[in-house]
Amino acid sequence: MINTFSTESNLSGLDRNKFQKNIAGKETDLFILKNKRGMEVAVTNYGCAILSIMVPDKDGKYANVVLGHDSIDNVINSPEPFLSTTIGRYGNRIANGKFQLHEKEYNLTVNNGPNSLHGGPTGFHRRIWDANQISQDTVEFTYLSVDGEEGFPGNLNVSMTYRLDEDSNALTIEYHATTDKPTIVNLTNHAFFNLSGITNPTPTINNHVVTINADYYTPIDEVCIPTGEILSVENTPMDFRTPHTVGRRIEEYHLQLINGHGYDHCYVLNKTEVGELALAAICTDPTSKRSMEVYTTEAGVQLYTGNWLNGFAGAHGATFPARSAICFEAQCFPDTPNKPHFPTATLLPEDEYQQITIYNFTVQE
């Protein structure tokens, strides 16, 4: 692990000493990324968790706009284990923890009702990644997920880079992965955003205005597994093609909102070609005027409105009640291995998994 850049006097007030720990022979640490515009991002190599994203509001006041913790022990013991972490080997749900690949059935650890969720209980969010802070604005994480880990086949070599742009307040996350046998891969970051800034209590995101570049979505059943349909958002509360506040329709009596306890759905992004880096979503807080644009090469983005947050404590005494965060998880569609008509999540030894997702923060005029 290489961490030679100062973490002192960071905007988020995090103490590096509280993030340094030896766990089973591997060291955890705190990494601070900065750009010349003043943006700052704090991360740790435990689950590659994003601890803070410091960006200004309309008055130039900086605040942390992502839910996180202020010590490694709190990250490890978080009531929300996926809080702002990297997710893998397969983000989202796989029905009954089972899938077939090349006529062989694989059984995964079940950790969400009858399903496997986010790679299982000891998925990538629970792993200590090797880290190399390349520059003040860039850190690279690497991890070898061994054959059979959480039931997934193949040794998967993963590299992931967090990078701040010098000319804009953009956080780019770039993923690469290779395997030595056929496997499935669906990586994402599960950042929990609140553009108002975290506090005690952190306000709901009901007033956040959202636009999603998607004409279709994948409806879910009562255990949040896609039905296999790809339905139009038109004339439903799932429609964010034009700007709407999250709270405007979230309590409507609609089967999908009932099944998801709010929004917890994958949107089929409008793309002109596979792998195109394109705008997926825009989210704005009308009070602070902070705005975030999400760009991704992925086919889908999971909209999740923090429906299961329960008020637990985070960094510096902030608390996180229900719906105090919104997530835009760029990814393949859920349960893709069991839905042959969905775009494939299979990775073969001769291929390379690649993904770019960008969160660009601005101030709305």
pTM passes above 0.95: yes
pLDDT of res. 365 = 81
CA 74 – CA 67 distance, rounded (Å): 12
According to CATH, what is the number of the domain 1-207+274-365? 2.70.98.10
Six token digits for residue 249: 């329709």
**In tens digits, what is the pLDDT along the chain, a chain of 365 residues?**
566 677 777 999 999 999 999 999 999 999 999 999 999 999 999 999 999 999 999 999 999 999 999 999 999 999 999 999 999 999 999 999 999 999 999 999 999 999 999 999 999 999 999 999 999 999 999 999 999 999 999 999 999 999 999 999 999 999 999 999 999 999 999 999 999 999 999 999 999 999 999 999 999 999 999 999 999 999 999 999 999 999 999 999 999 999 999 999 999 999 999 999 999 999 999 999 999 999 999 999 999 999 999 999 999 999 999 999 999 999 999 999 999 999 999 999 999 999 999 999 999 98
Q: Check 118, 190, 208, 265 and give the catalytic one.
A: 190
- Domain assignments of the chain as residue spans, ordered by start: 1-207+274-365
The answer to whether 203 touches 194, Cβ cutoff 8 Å, is yes
SS3 352: coil
d(CA 62, CA 84): 19
Q: How many CB atoms within 10 Å of residue 165?
A: 16
Tell me whether residue 190 is one of the annotated catalytic residues: yes
Parallel, antiparallel, or unpaired for β 346-347 and 183-184?
antiparallel
Element (H, E) at 257: helix 255-260
What pLDDT was estimated at residue 7? 74
